[in-house]
Amino acid sequence: MKDQTKSNNQIYRLIPFEEYEPNLRLALNKIALESVVNGEDPIISLSGWKPSCINIGYTQKINNVLNIEEIKKQNIQIVRRESAGGAMYLGEKNDICWGIIEKNQNKEENVNLTNIYKQTCQIIINALSEMNIKSKHKIINDVILENGNGKISGSAIKQIKNITYIHGTLLYKINKEILNKILKPECDHQKKEKIKESNKKLSSISLESNTTFENAIKILEKYLTTGKKYYIKPWTKQEIEKAEILAKQYSSKEWINKF
């Protein structure tokens, strides 16, 4: 177990980076959250997606946000997550996804989400700094380049009882050609105008740094665990088997076409 500077008395389970089939990844997210809600240790996880996929928000209508013909042509998988937000293209070795599931320190169900976003975005900023990328927090949940020329990370929060789950994506590489073809303009969740995700200012680690994908993962893991006591424990066989059953639900036509 690695003991760094103390920030709280929780002992975290670190689930190291691995690439997962998209629906299995969604199922593992749910299992992780349920385990902490049920009293197990808080969790820090890193993950990737294999194969590449389009991950749409819970209430999004597929035909409103996706170019279905192009997606079929490129044989890209569509998955629907349980959380809100916009459609995202998640490519193999394009994105590093991370999550922190923990008990609220003040033992209250209602916590200051703005502060949580600020603190977590600072973790990403510190990690990017080690990659020689200067960045800053953009309210409420984004990290952008210090010069304002591109979003490089975003996050979201889900709360159940006194548990907070914050998760996000750090862009390692972006493929604007694919984004232009498969995503339709949609209403940005913080603006009243229609914006195409590919036309937003985006950047990535590979555009700003010589850091390899593997080293970016190591650096991000380092900063996600700084100040925390933790032990490393990958997904167990039992957890994977449970997730595989749930993944069948997420891959069903009924779920994908829910709205």
SS in 3 state form for 201-244? Answer: CECCHHHHCCCCHHHHHHHHHHHHHCCCEEEECCCCHHHHHHHH
pLDDT per residue as tens digits for the range 7-53? 468 999 999 999 999 999 999 999 999 999 999 999 999 999 999 99
Number of domains in the chain: 1
CA distances from 120 to 8, 225, 230 (A): 15, 12, 17
Range of the domain at 123: 2-256
Instruction: Provide mean pLDDT across the span 180-190.
Output: 67
Q: CA torsion 5→153→30→159, rounded to 10°?
A: 70
Instruction: Provide mean pLDDT across the span 209-216.
Output: 98
- 215 CB-near residues (< 8 Å, 6+ apart): 131
Instruction: Provide mean pLDDT across the span 169-178.
Output: 91
Instruction: Provide mean pLDDT across the span 223-233.
Output: 97
Q: Among the listed ranges 47-51, 53-57, 187-191, which one has the minimum average pLDDT value?
A: 187-191
CATH code of 9's domain: 3.30.930.10
Q: What percent of the chain has pLDDT over 90?
A: 69
What separation, in Å, do the N-terminal and C-terminal C-alpha atoms of the chain show? 45
Q: In the chain, which ranges are E strands? A: 2-3, 11-15, 19-20, 43-49, 53-56, 77-80, 88-90, 95-103, 135-138, 142-145, 151-160, 163-171, 186-187, 194-195, 229-232
pLDDT per residue as tens digits for the range 105-138? 765 556 788 999 999 999 999 999 999 999 999 9
Mean of all residue pLDDT scores within the chain: 88
